[in-house]
Structure 1
Amino acid sequence: MKILVLGGTADGRHLAERLSQLGVEVLYSIAGLVRVPTLPCEVLVGGFSQFGGLATFLKQRQIDLVIDATHPYAATMSNTAVAAGQETGIPVWRFLRPAWQPQAADDWRNYQNDDDLLEQLKDFKRPLLSAGQMTREQLLAITQSEGFEQGVWRTAVLPKFDVPETITWLKAIGPFDLDSERDLLKRYQIDVIVSKNSGGDSTSAKLDAARELGIRVLLHQRPQVNKAVRTFSEYSQLIEAVQAFSASASSTQEPQQQ
Protein backbone atom coordinates (compact mmCIF):
# COMPACT_ATOMS: atom_id res chain seq x y z
CA MET A 1 0.00 0.00 0.00
CA LYS A 2 1.19 3.50 -0.84
CA ILE A 3 0.14 6.58 1.16
CA LEU A 4 0.61 10.23 0.31
CA VAL A 5 0.89 12.41 3.42
CA LEU A 6 0.30 16.11 2.81
CA GLY A 7 2.43 17.69 5.50
CA GLY A 8 4.37 20.79 6.39
CA THR A 9 3.49 20.37 10.08
CA ALA A 10 4.98 18.51 13.01
CA ASP A 11 1.90 16.28 12.94
CA GLY A 12 2.50 15.37 9.32
CA ARG A 13 6.18 14.73 9.89
CA HIS A 14 5.55 12.46 12.86
CA LEU A 15 2.84 10.62 10.95
CA ALA A 16 5.10 9.98 7.95
CA GLU A 17 7.87 8.75 10.22
CA ARG A 18 5.60 6.43 12.20
CA LEU A 19 3.93 4.92 9.14
CA SER A 20 7.32 4.31 7.55
CA GLN A 21 8.42 2.50 10.71
CA LEU A 22 5.34 0.29 10.40
CA GLY A 23 6.42 -0.75 6.92
CA VAL A 24 4.02 1.42 4.95
CA GLU A 25 5.31 3.03 1.75
CA VAL A 26 4.93 6.76 2.36
CA LEU A 27 5.36 9.80 0.17
CA TYR A 28 5.57 13.01 2.19
CA SER A 29 4.75 16.31 0.50
CA ILE A 30 5.62 19.82 1.71
CA ALA A 31 5.66 23.30 0.23
CA GLY A 32 9.27 23.65 1.35
CA LEU A 33 9.03 27.24 2.57
CA VAL A 34 10.76 26.63 5.89
CA ARG A 35 12.91 23.51 5.93
CA VAL A 36 12.98 20.07 4.36
CA PRO A 37 12.85 17.31 6.99
CA THR A 38 14.96 14.18 6.96
CA LEU A 39 12.55 11.24 6.94
CA PRO A 40 12.75 7.50 6.17
CA CYS A 41 10.53 8.01 3.11
CA GLU A 42 10.36 9.93 -0.14
CA VAL A 43 9.94 13.68 0.42
CA LEU A 44 8.32 15.80 -2.29
CA VAL A 45 8.97 19.55 -2.25
CA GLY A 46 7.18 22.33 -4.10
CA GLY A 47 3.61 21.23 -4.71
CA PHE A 48 1.95 19.20 -7.44
CA SER A 49 1.75 21.60 -10.37
CA GLN A 50 5.16 20.25 -11.38
CA PHE A 51 3.47 16.87 -11.88
CA GLY A 52 0.43 18.19 -13.74
CA GLY A 53 -1.74 18.54 -10.65
CA LEU A 54 -2.55 16.43 -7.62
CA ALA A 55 -5.09 14.15 -9.34
CA THR A 56 -2.59 13.30 -12.08
CA PHE A 57 0.10 12.64 -9.49
CA LEU A 58 -2.16 10.29 -7.51
CA LYS A 59 -2.88 8.21 -10.60
CA GLN A 60 0.69 8.19 -11.90
CA ARG A 61 2.15 7.12 -8.56
CA GLN A 62 -0.69 4.68 -7.83
CA ILE A 63 -1.51 6.18 -4.44
CA ASP A 64 -3.96 4.15 -2.34
CA LEU A 65 -4.71 6.70 0.38
CA VAL A 66 -4.17 10.42 0.94
CA ILE A 67 -3.81 11.81 4.45
CA ASP A 68 -4.14 15.57 4.73
CA ALA A 69 -2.01 16.60 7.70
CA THR A 70 -1.49 20.18 6.57
CA HIS A 71 -2.00 23.21 8.79
CA PRO A 72 -5.63 23.88 9.79
CA TYR A 73 -5.43 27.12 7.77
CA ALA A 74 -4.14 25.48 4.57
CA ALA A 75 -7.66 25.55 3.13
CA THR A 76 -6.60 25.65 -0.52
CA MET A 77 -4.50 22.50 -0.23
CA SER A 78 -7.16 20.70 1.81
CA ASN A 79 -9.87 21.52 -0.74
CA THR A 80 -7.58 20.52 -3.60
CA ALA A 81 -6.98 17.16 -1.92
CA VAL A 82 -10.70 16.49 -1.50
CA ALA A 83 -11.37 17.40 -5.13
CA ALA A 84 -8.53 15.16 -6.35
CA GLY A 85 -9.87 12.31 -4.24
CA GLN A 86 -13.32 12.70 -5.72
CA GLU A 87 -11.89 12.79 -9.24
CA THR A 88 -9.73 9.70 -8.82
CA GLY A 89 -11.80 7.69 -6.35
CA ILE A 90 -8.87 7.62 -3.92
CA PRO A 91 -9.93 8.17 -0.30
CA VAL A 92 -8.74 11.35 1.39
CA TRP A 93 -8.50 11.42 5.18
CA ARG A 94 -7.72 14.45 7.30
CA PHE A 95 -5.85 14.84 10.56
CA LEU A 96 -7.12 18.02 12.21
CA ARG A 97 -5.76 19.27 15.50
CA PRO A 98 -8.51 20.28 17.92
CA ALA A 99 -8.83 24.05 18.18
CA TRP A 100 -7.64 25.74 21.35
CA GLN A 101 -10.38 26.36 23.89
CA PRO A 102 -10.34 29.32 26.29
CA GLN A 103 -9.95 28.90 30.03
CA ALA A 104 -11.76 30.97 32.62
CA ALA A 105 -9.02 33.61 32.91
CA ASP A 106 -8.46 34.01 29.16
CA ASP A 107 -9.39 37.18 27.29
CA TRP A 108 -9.91 35.93 23.74
CA ARG A 109 -11.70 37.40 20.76
CA ASN A 110 -12.15 35.95 17.28
CA TYR A 111 -11.66 37.86 14.04
CA GLN A 112 -12.81 36.83 10.58
CA ASN A 113 -10.76 38.96 8.18
CA ASP A 114 -8.32 41.85 7.90
CA ASP A 115 -10.96 44.54 8.35
CA ASP A 116 -12.28 42.83 11.47
CA LEU A 117 -8.74 42.56 12.84
CA LEU A 118 -8.00 46.24 12.24
CA GLU A 119 -11.20 47.22 14.02
CA GLN A 120 -10.25 45.16 17.06
CA LEU A 121 -6.65 46.42 17.10
CA LYS A 122 -7.56 50.10 17.33
CA ASP A 123 -7.57 50.04 21.14
CA PHE A 124 -4.05 48.58 21.41
CA LYS A 125 -0.55 50.00 21.06
CA ARG A 126 1.88 47.09 20.88
CA PRO A 127 0.68 43.93 19.12
CA LEU A 128 2.54 40.66 18.75
CA LEU A 129 1.68 39.44 15.26
CA SER A 130 2.06 35.66 15.33
CA ALA A 131 -0.50 34.58 12.74
CA GLY A 132 2.08 33.60 10.12
CA GLN A 133 2.87 35.22 6.79
CA MET A 134 1.53 38.68 6.04
CA THR A 135 1.91 41.10 3.16
CA ARG A 136 3.57 44.50 3.44
CA GLU A 137 0.17 46.06 2.79
CA GLN A 138 -1.34 44.20 5.74
CA LEU A 139 1.48 45.30 8.01
CA LEU A 140 1.22 48.91 6.88
CA ALA A 141 -2.51 48.90 7.57
CA ILE A 142 -1.82 47.70 11.11
CA THR A 143 0.83 50.38 11.70
CA GLN A 144 -1.68 53.01 10.59
CA SER A 145 -4.42 51.82 12.92
CA GLU A 146 -5.56 54.10 15.72
CA GLY A 147 -3.38 53.85 18.81
CA PHE A 148 -0.58 51.80 17.23
CA GLU A 149 2.94 52.57 18.45
CA GLN A 150 5.23 49.59 17.88
CA GLY A 151 4.65 45.98 16.88
CA VAL A 152 6.44 42.65 16.74
CA TRP A 153 5.97 40.25 13.83
CA ARG A 154 7.19 36.69 14.38
CA THR A 155 7.45 34.21 11.52
CA ALA A 156 9.49 31.19 10.48
CA VAL A 157 10.26 32.56 7.00
CA LEU A 158 12.30 35.61 6.02
CA PRO A 159 10.06 38.35 4.57
CA LYS A 160 10.52 39.13 0.88
CA PHE A 161 9.93 42.84 1.40
CA ASP A 162 11.10 45.67 3.63
CA VAL A 163 9.28 45.47 6.94
CA PRO A 164 7.81 48.80 8.15
CA GLU A 165 10.12 50.62 10.57
CA THR A 166 7.66 50.41 13.44
CA ILE A 167 7.49 46.60 13.14
CA THR A 168 10.22 44.44 14.67
CA TRP A 169 10.55 41.18 12.75
CA LEU A 170 11.65 38.09 14.67
CA LYS A 171 12.49 34.77 13.07
CA ALA A 172 11.45 31.85 15.24
CA ILE A 173 10.28 28.28 14.78
CA GLY A 174 8.35 26.47 17.51
CA PRO A 175 7.94 24.79 19.85
CA PHE A 176 8.04 27.70 22.30
CA ASP A 177 8.17 27.43 26.09
CA LEU A 178 6.31 29.49 28.66
CA ASP A 179 9.35 31.28 30.08
CA SER A 180 10.56 32.53 26.70
CA GLU A 181 7.07 33.61 25.66
CA ARG A 182 6.55 35.48 28.92
CA ASP A 183 9.91 37.20 28.50
CA LEU A 184 9.07 38.18 24.92
CA LEU A 185 5.77 39.76 25.92
CA LYS A 186 7.39 41.71 28.74
CA ARG A 187 10.45 42.81 26.76
CA TYR A 188 8.38 44.36 23.97
CA GLN A 189 5.56 45.50 26.28
CA ILE A 190 3.01 43.59 24.21
CA ASP A 191 -0.60 44.46 25.01
CA VAL A 192 -2.37 42.20 22.47
CA ILE A 193 -1.52 38.99 20.60
CA VAL A 194 -2.72 38.19 17.08
CA SER A 195 -2.68 34.48 16.28
CA LYS A 196 -4.26 31.68 14.34
CA ASN A 197 -6.15 29.06 16.34
CA SER A 198 -3.66 26.40 15.30
CA GLY A 199 -4.27 23.97 18.14
CA GLY A 200 -1.62 21.64 19.52
CA ASP A 201 1.16 22.29 22.01
CA SER A 202 3.92 23.70 19.81
CA THR A 203 2.80 27.35 19.95
CA SER A 204 0.32 27.34 22.83
CA ALA A 205 2.75 28.74 25.42
CA LYS A 206 1.98 32.30 24.27
CA LEU A 207 -1.62 31.72 25.35
CA ASP A 208 -0.47 30.65 28.81
CA ALA A 209 1.77 33.70 29.05
CA ALA A 210 -1.06 35.98 27.90
CA ARG A 211 -3.32 34.50 30.58
CA GLU A 212 -0.72 35.18 33.27
CA LEU A 213 -0.15 38.76 32.13
CA GLY A 214 -3.76 39.63 31.38
CA ILE A 215 -3.14 40.21 27.67
CA ARG A 216 -5.93 39.95 25.12
CA VAL A 217 -5.61 37.40 22.30
CA LEU A 218 -7.19 37.90 18.88
CA LEU A 219 -7.64 34.57 17.11
CA HIS A 220 -8.25 34.21 13.39
CA GLN A 221 -11.24 31.93 12.92
CA ARG A 222 -10.45 28.66 11.22
CA PRO A 223 -11.47 28.46 7.56
CA GLN A 224 -14.21 26.13 6.41
CA VAL A 225 -12.91 23.33 4.18
CA ASN A 226 -14.58 20.62 2.13
CA LYS A 227 -15.29 17.42 4.01
CA ALA A 228 -12.80 14.57 3.80
CA VAL A 229 -13.88 10.91 3.75
CA ARG A 230 -12.72 10.57 7.36
CA THR A 231 -11.40 13.10 9.87
CA PHE A 232 -9.27 12.32 12.92
CA SER A 233 -8.20 14.45 15.85
CA GLU A 234 -6.38 11.70 17.75
CA TYR A 235 -3.03 10.52 16.41
CA SER A 236 -3.38 6.97 17.77
CA GLN A 237 -6.81 6.52 16.19
CA LEU A 238 -5.45 7.59 12.82
CA ILE A 239 -2.58 5.09 13.03
CA GLU A 240 -5.01 2.29 13.92
CA ALA A 241 -7.28 3.25 11.03
CA VAL A 242 -4.37 3.20 8.58
CA GLN A 243 -3.33 -0.24 9.79
CA ALA A 244 -6.88 -1.52 9.34
CA PHE A 245 -7.08 0.06 5.88
CA SER A 246 -3.77 -1.53 4.92
CA ALA A 247 -4.89 -4.96 6.14
CA SER A 248 -8.13 -4.64 4.21
CA ALA A 249 -6.31 -3.58 1.05
CA SER A 250 -3.90 -6.51 1.35
CA SER A 251 -6.72 -9.03 1.78
CA THR A 252 -8.53 -7.83 -1.34
CA GLN A 253 -5.35 -8.00 -3.40
CA GLU A 254 -4.34 -11.54 -2.39
CA PRO A 255 -6.86 -13.44 -4.58
CA GLN A 256 -5.70 -11.44 -7.60
CA GLN A 257 -2.14 -12.57 -7.01
CA GLN A 258 -2.94 -16.29 -6.90
Structure 2
Amino acid sequence: MHVLILGGTTEARRLAELLAGEAGLRVTSSLAGRVAAPRLPPGEVRVGGFGGAEGMAAWVREHRVDALIDATHPFAGTISFNAASAAALAHVPLLALRRSGWVADKGDDWHRVDSLEQAARVLPALGERVFLTTGRMGLAAFAGDPELDALWFLVRSVDAPEPPHPARVEVLLDRGPFTLDGERELLRTHRIDVVVTKDSGGAATAPKLVAAREAGVPVVVVRRPPVPEGVPVATAPEEAAAWLRRFSLAP
Protein backbone atom coordinates (compact mmCIF):
# COMPACT_ATOMS: atom_id res chain seq x y z
CA MET A 1 0.00 0.00 0.00
CA HIS A 2 1.35 3.42 -0.98
CA VAL A 3 0.32 6.51 1.03
CA LEU A 4 1.17 10.07 0.02
CA ILE A 5 1.47 12.55 2.89
CA LEU A 6 1.27 16.21 1.94
CA GLY A 7 3.53 17.47 4.69
CA GLY A 8 5.77 20.18 6.03
CA THR A 9 4.25 20.23 9.53
CA THR A 10 5.20 18.65 12.83
CA GLU A 11 2.11 16.44 12.57
CA ALA A 12 3.14 15.23 9.11
CA ARG A 13 6.61 14.27 10.32
CA ARG A 14 5.13 12.50 13.34
CA LEU A 15 2.74 10.56 11.11
CA ALA A 16 5.61 9.48 8.84
CA GLU A 17 7.51 8.33 11.94
CA LEU A 18 4.52 6.31 13.14
CA LEU A 19 4.19 4.60 9.77
CA ALA A 20 7.91 4.06 9.14
CA GLY A 21 8.89 0.42 8.94
CA GLU A 22 5.35 -0.96 8.82
CA ALA A 23 5.24 -4.09 6.69
CA GLY A 24 3.45 -3.71 3.39
CA LEU A 25 3.32 0.09 3.60
CA ARG A 26 5.21 2.56 1.43
CA VAL A 27 5.21 6.18 2.65
CA THR A 28 6.03 9.22 0.52
CA SER A 29 6.06 12.69 2.06
CA SER A 30 5.67 15.70 -0.22
CA LEU A 31 7.15 19.06 0.83
CA ALA A 32 6.37 22.36 -0.88
CA GLY A 33 10.01 23.48 -0.85
CA ARG A 34 9.39 26.93 0.64
CA VAL A 35 11.79 26.38 3.55
CA ALA A 36 15.50 26.30 2.69
CA ALA A 37 16.45 23.54 5.15
CA PRO A 38 13.33 21.58 6.11
CA ARG A 39 13.28 18.85 8.71
CA LEU A 40 12.95 15.72 6.62
CA PRO A 41 10.63 12.90 7.72
CA PRO A 42 11.52 9.22 7.40
CA GLY A 43 10.59 7.40 4.23
CA GLU A 44 10.59 8.71 0.67
CA VAL A 45 10.49 12.47 0.18
CA ARG A 46 9.58 14.59 -2.84
CA VAL A 47 9.97 18.37 -2.94
CA GLY A 48 8.06 20.88 -5.05
CA GLY A 49 4.60 21.51 -6.42
CA PHE A 50 2.45 19.20 -8.51
CA GLY A 51 1.08 21.70 -10.99
CA GLY A 52 -2.40 22.02 -9.56
CA ALA A 53 -5.08 19.44 -8.88
CA GLU A 54 -4.74 17.68 -12.23
CA GLY A 55 -0.96 17.45 -11.83
CA MET A 56 -1.38 15.95 -8.36
CA ALA A 57 -3.95 13.47 -9.65
CA ALA A 58 -1.56 12.44 -12.43
CA TRP A 59 1.25 11.92 -9.89
CA VAL A 60 -1.05 9.86 -7.69
CA ARG A 61 -2.04 7.64 -10.59
CA GLU A 62 1.52 7.32 -11.96
CA HIS A 63 2.96 6.31 -8.59
CA ARG A 64 0.02 4.10 -7.68
CA VAL A 65 -0.92 5.94 -4.52
CA ASP A 66 -3.65 4.14 -2.57
CA ALA A 67 -4.44 6.84 0.01
CA LEU A 68 -3.77 10.55 0.38
CA ILE A 69 -3.32 12.41 3.68
CA ASP A 70 -3.31 16.21 3.65
CA ALA A 71 -1.16 17.14 6.65
CA THR A 72 -0.19 20.59 5.40
CA HIS A 73 -0.27 23.76 7.47
CA PRO A 74 -3.81 24.85 8.46
CA PHE A 75 -3.33 28.00 6.34
CA ALA A 76 -2.06 26.23 3.21
CA GLY A 77 -5.52 26.53 1.72
CA THR A 78 -4.80 26.14 -1.99
CA ILE A 79 -3.08 22.76 -1.76
CA SER A 80 -5.86 21.42 0.45
CA PHE A 81 -8.47 22.18 -2.20
CA ASN A 82 -6.15 20.77 -4.88
CA ALA A 83 -5.81 17.61 -2.80
CA ALA A 84 -9.59 17.25 -2.55
CA SER A 85 -9.95 17.62 -6.32
CA ALA A 86 -7.00 15.31 -7.02
CA ALA A 87 -8.36 12.60 -4.73
CA ALA A 88 -11.71 12.75 -6.52
CA LEU A 89 -10.04 12.64 -9.95
CA ALA A 90 -7.78 9.72 -9.03
CA HIS A 91 -10.47 7.91 -7.00
CA VAL A 92 -8.39 7.55 -3.81
CA PRO A 93 -9.51 8.22 -0.23
CA LEU A 94 -8.41 11.49 1.38
CA LEU A 95 -7.98 12.43 5.02
CA ALA A 96 -7.10 15.89 6.37
CA LEU A 97 -4.79 15.95 9.39
CA ARG A 98 -5.30 19.25 11.24
CA ARG A 99 -4.11 20.12 14.73
CA SER A 100 -6.82 21.73 16.85
CA GLY A 101 -6.98 25.51 16.88
CA TRP A 102 -6.20 27.62 19.93
CA VAL A 103 -8.91 28.49 22.47
CA ALA A 104 -8.92 31.82 24.31
CA ASP A 105 -8.38 31.61 28.06
CA LYS A 106 -9.41 33.90 30.89
CA GLY A 107 -7.50 37.17 30.61
CA ASP A 108 -6.83 36.91 26.87
CA ASP A 109 -7.51 40.02 24.79
CA TRP A 110 -8.01 38.45 21.37
CA HIS A 111 -9.24 40.23 18.26
CA ARG A 112 -10.30 37.66 15.65
CA VAL A 113 -10.15 38.54 11.96
CA ASP A 114 -10.59 36.61 8.72
CA SER A 115 -7.44 37.64 6.83
CA LEU A 116 -4.04 39.31 7.08
CA GLU A 117 -5.55 42.35 5.40
CA GLN A 118 -8.15 42.64 8.16
CA ALA A 119 -5.40 42.19 10.74
CA ALA A 120 -3.51 45.11 9.21
CA ARG A 121 -6.59 47.34 9.37
CA VAL A 122 -7.16 46.84 13.11
CA LEU A 123 -3.51 47.27 14.17
CA PRO A 124 -3.27 51.10 14.40
CA ALA A 125 -5.99 51.15 17.07
CA LEU A 126 -4.29 48.47 19.18
CA GLY A 127 -0.61 49.34 19.40
CA GLU A 128 2.56 50.79 17.90
CA ARG A 129 5.12 47.99 18.35
CA VAL A 130 3.93 44.84 16.62
CA PHE A 131 5.19 41.27 17.02
CA LEU A 132 4.22 39.75 13.66
CA THR A 133 4.32 35.95 13.85
CA THR A 134 2.49 35.04 10.64
CA GLY A 135 5.59 33.85 8.76
CA ARG A 136 7.38 35.42 5.83
CA MET A 137 4.53 34.94 3.37
CA GLY A 138 1.85 37.63 3.21
CA LEU A 139 3.89 40.52 4.63
CA ALA A 140 2.67 42.69 1.77
CA ALA A 141 -0.60 43.08 3.71
CA PHE A 142 1.32 45.24 6.21
CA ALA A 143 3.16 47.38 3.66
CA GLY A 144 2.34 50.51 1.70
CA ASP A 145 -0.20 52.07 4.09
CA PRO A 146 0.69 55.41 5.75
CA GLU A 147 -0.97 54.35 9.02
CA LEU A 148 1.03 51.11 9.08
CA ASP A 149 4.25 52.90 8.10
CA ALA A 150 4.10 54.64 11.48
CA LEU A 151 4.18 51.29 13.31
CA TRP A 152 7.28 49.24 14.17
CA PHE A 153 7.24 45.51 13.37
CA LEU A 154 9.23 42.58 14.69
CA VAL A 155 8.85 39.81 12.12
CA ARG A 156 9.77 36.26 13.13
CA SER A 157 10.21 33.60 10.44
CA VAL A 158 12.35 30.56 9.61
CA ASP A 159 13.78 32.13 6.44
CA ALA A 160 14.40 35.78 5.60
CA PRO A 161 11.34 37.49 4.07
CA GLU A 162 11.45 39.25 0.74
CA PRO A 163 9.84 42.63 0.03
CA PRO A 164 7.31 44.06 0.10
CA HIS A 165 7.24 44.14 3.89
CA PRO A 166 6.51 46.76 6.59
CA ALA A 167 8.43 50.01 6.29
CA ARG A 168 9.86 49.85 9.83
CA VAL A 169 10.81 46.24 10.41
CA GLU A 170 13.29 44.09 12.31
CA VAL A 171 13.58 40.45 11.24
CA LEU A 172 14.17 37.66 13.74
CA LEU A 173 15.16 34.36 12.11
CA ASP A 174 14.13 31.54 14.41
CA ARG A 175 12.34 28.21 14.39
CA GLY A 176 10.04 26.81 17.08
CA PRO A 177 9.32 25.31 19.48
CA PHE A 178 9.58 28.43 21.65
CA THR A 179 9.69 28.60 25.45
CA LEU A 180 7.48 30.71 27.67
CA ASP A 181 10.49 32.39 29.30
CA GLY A 182 11.87 33.21 25.87
CA GLU A 183 8.59 34.74 24.71
CA ARG A 184 8.27 36.78 27.89
CA GLU A 185 11.76 38.17 27.36
CA LEU A 186 11.07 38.90 23.68
CA LEU A 187 7.93 40.93 24.49
CA ARG A 188 9.76 42.81 27.23
CA THR A 189 13.00 43.50 25.33
CA HIS A 190 11.24 44.76 22.20
CA ARG A 191 8.49 46.59 24.14
CA ILE A 192 5.81 44.78 22.16
CA ASP A 193 2.29 46.14 22.68
CA VAL A 194 0.37 44.01 20.14
CA VAL A 195 0.86 40.52 18.68
CA VAL A 196 -0.41 39.24 15.33
CA THR A 197 -0.69 35.50 14.73
CA LYS A 198 -2.54 32.95 12.64
CA ASP A 199 -4.63 30.37 14.47
CA SER A 200 -2.17 27.62 13.64
CA GLY A 201 -2.79 25.68 16.83
CA GLY A 202 -0.29 23.34 18.44
CA ALA A 203 2.11 23.70 21.35
CA ALA A 204 5.26 24.79 19.50
CA THR A 205 4.26 28.44 19.13
CA ALA A 206 1.56 28.73 21.83
CA PRO A 207 3.83 30.25 24.56
CA LYS A 208 3.58 33.67 22.88
CA LEU A 209 -0.14 33.65 23.69
CA VAL A 210 0.52 32.96 27.36
CA ALA A 211 3.22 35.65 27.45
CA ALA A 212 0.83 38.14 25.84
CA ARG A 213 -1.91 37.29 28.35
CA GLU A 214 0.46 37.80 31.27
CA ALA A 215 1.66 41.13 29.90
CA GLY A 216 -1.84 42.38 29.03
CA VAL A 217 -0.90 42.61 25.36
CA PRO A 218 -3.73 42.29 22.79
CA VAL A 219 -3.44 39.55 20.17
CA VAL A 220 -4.87 39.75 16.65
CA VAL A 221 -5.77 36.17 15.65
CA VAL A 222 -6.38 35.32 11.99
CA ARG A 223 -8.99 32.57 11.68
CA ARG A 224 -7.94 29.49 9.71
CA PRO A 225 -9.64 28.62 6.40
CA PRO A 226 -12.07 25.68 6.41
CA VAL A 227 -11.17 22.17 5.30
CA PRO A 228 -12.75 21.37 1.90
CA GLU A 229 -16.32 20.18 2.29
CA GLY A 230 -16.76 16.44 2.69
CA VAL A 231 -13.15 15.68 3.66
CA PRO A 232 -12.87 13.76 6.96
CA VAL A 233 -10.56 15.30 9.57
CA ALA A 234 -8.16 13.80 12.10
CA THR A 235 -6.71 16.05 14.81
CA ALA A 236 -3.70 13.92 15.75
CA PRO A 237 -1.12 11.82 13.86
CA GLU A 238 -2.13 8.73 15.85
CA GLU A 239 -5.72 9.17 14.68
CA ALA A 240 -4.58 9.50 11.07
CA ALA A 241 -2.42 6.37 11.38
CA ALA A 242 -5.38 4.44 12.78
CA TRP A 243 -7.56 5.61 9.85
CA LEU A 244 -4.94 4.42 7.39
CA ARG A 245 -4.57 1.03 9.08
CA ARG A 246 -8.34 0.50 9.04
CA PHE A 247 -8.39 1.38 5.37
CA SER A 248 -5.51 -0.98 4.56
CA LEU A 249 -7.27 -3.87 6.36
CA ALA A 250 -10.62 -3.25 4.66
CA PRO A 251 -11.66 -5.96 2.17
Same fold (TM over 0.5): yes
- CA–CA distance in structure 2, aligned partners of residues 136 and 243 of structure 1: 41
1:132 to 132, 135, 142: 135
SS in structure 1 of the partner of residue 143 of structure 2: helix
* Percent identity over paired residues: 34
1:9 partnered with 2:12: no
| Counterpart residue type for residue 64 of structure 2 | Q
Q: Report the CA distance between 1:227 and its aligned residue.
A: 2.6
Contact 1:122 1:147 in 2 (8 A): no
Native 8 Å contact 2:120 2:141 kept in 1: no
Residues 85-120 of structure 1: per-residue CA shift (max 9 Å, x gap): 111111110111111000011110111234422331
Matched, 1:151 2:146: no
For 1:136 and 1:71, the matched residues in 2 are separated by 17
1:81 aligns with 2:72: no
Give the root-mean-square deviation of aligned CA atoms: 2.1
Q: Deviations over 1:46-94 (max 9, x none)?
A: 1113997100000000000000000001110000000001111111101
Cα distance in 1 between the residues matched to 2:41 and 2:137: 30
CA apart distance, 1:14: 1.1
Q: Residues 118 and 37 (structure 1 numbering): CA distance in 2 closer, same or farther, change over 3 Å?
A: closer
**Residues 90-129 of structure 1 mapped to structure 2, 5 A cutoff:** 90-123=92-125, 124-129=127-132
Aligned length in residues: 248
* TM-score, normalising length: structure 1: 0.89
Name stretches of at least 5 consecutive residues in structure 2 with no aligned partner.
Answer: none
* Aligned equivalent of 1:256: none
The residue type paired with residue 138 of structure 1 is: A
TM-score, normalised relative to structure 2: 0.91
| TM-superposed deviation, 1:21 | 3.2
Deviations 1:14-69 (CA, angstroms, capped at 9, x unpaired): 11121113332100001122223333311000111399710000000000000000
Matches within 5 A, 1:66-77: 66-77=68-79
Judging changes above 3 Å, is the alpha-carbon distance between structure 1 residues 199 and 229 closer, same or farther for their aligned structure 2 residues? same
Structure 1: unaligned runs, 5 residues or longer: 253-258
**Other-structure match for 1:255:** none
Asked if the contact 2:176/2:204 (under 8 Å) is kept, the reply is yes
